Amino acid sequence: MRIADKTVTRAILERHGFTFKKSFGQNFLTDTNILQKIVDTAEIDKGVNVIEIGPGIGALTEFLAENAAEVMAFEIDDRLIPILADTLRDFDNVQVVNQDILKADLQTQIKAFKNPDLPIKVVANLPYYITTPILMHLIESKIPFQEFVVMMQKEVADRISAEPNTKAYGSLSIAVQYYMTAKVAFIVPRTVFVPAPNVDSAILKMTRRETPLVDVKNEDFLFDVSKASFVHRRKTLWNNLTNRFGKSDEVKAKLEKALEIAELAPNVRGEALSIEDFARLSDALESVALY
């Protein structure tokens, strides 16, 4: 019987007297078919090390441990550590780290893999309330994670994988797609969790690009400009940029020059711009000393 089997999950929770904490965004998956599908989507085999975030009672960890070389699971809730020691006792290739993934020294931690030179994939059911900070923290770290296969709120997955000229497209799409390709692999209904969340989830598969999607002089400034361009989605690029950089005659003259260099119309909206457009705009704004 699998950990994720509903009767087994219920028995584990009762045996340890575990109660869910809303502050940790805990929703445990109780569908073995979906767990197998996650592992298949991530193409986990013995040539891969896995980092998992928020293992809960070990439902996904069990599947990962059976397929991967090693699994390092970061769990912030210290109440779950003895439960994981119980449920994963048969696996000698799992390390449970009782730490907040946002505060962990990952460069040091991954050296604890028996073979740290193997490719590393991130496979996780991410807490909804902190999905974006975790993803950006991992993507922007200097660790060359090969791939992410992560569960998150469907709406967030749609935003990350969105194309220009769609409602979901925005600065988050740009921040992730600059580094990674992103595609929704499949939808996970809310009914397969304990407790059931209020929304459906999606499995998002992200693969690191060999080089960033665009060549830009200043990455941080690119993300700053893209964020500014979506502050008021219904406003034009011009309005959003003047809100960000100022409305003096000098600033407006520089903005006009930068838009001309980038070959962009002032009345276009941010959602119509590709990442390549934003890269040109970012470099143009920097060239006229607007940063």
Non-local CB neighbours of 233 within 8 Å, separated by 6+ positions:
170, 269, 270, 271
276 is in an annotated binding site: no
Tokens coding 12: 């584990």
Instruction: Tell whether residue 49 is among the known ligand binding residues.
Output: no
CB 218 within 8 A of CB 287: no
Amino acid in position 204: L
Binding site annotation covers 29? yes
Q: Is 163 annotated as a binding residue?
A: no
Check if the beta carbon of residue 170 is closer than 8 Å to that of residue 159.
yes
Check the annotation: does 239 bind a ligand: no
Q: Is 27 annotated as a binding residue?
A: yes
Are 48 and 68 a contacting pair, CB within 8 Å?
yes
Which residues does the annotation place in the binding site for S-adenosyl-L-methionine?
27, 29, 54, 75, 100, 125
Residues comprising the binding site? 27, 29, 54, 75, 100, 125
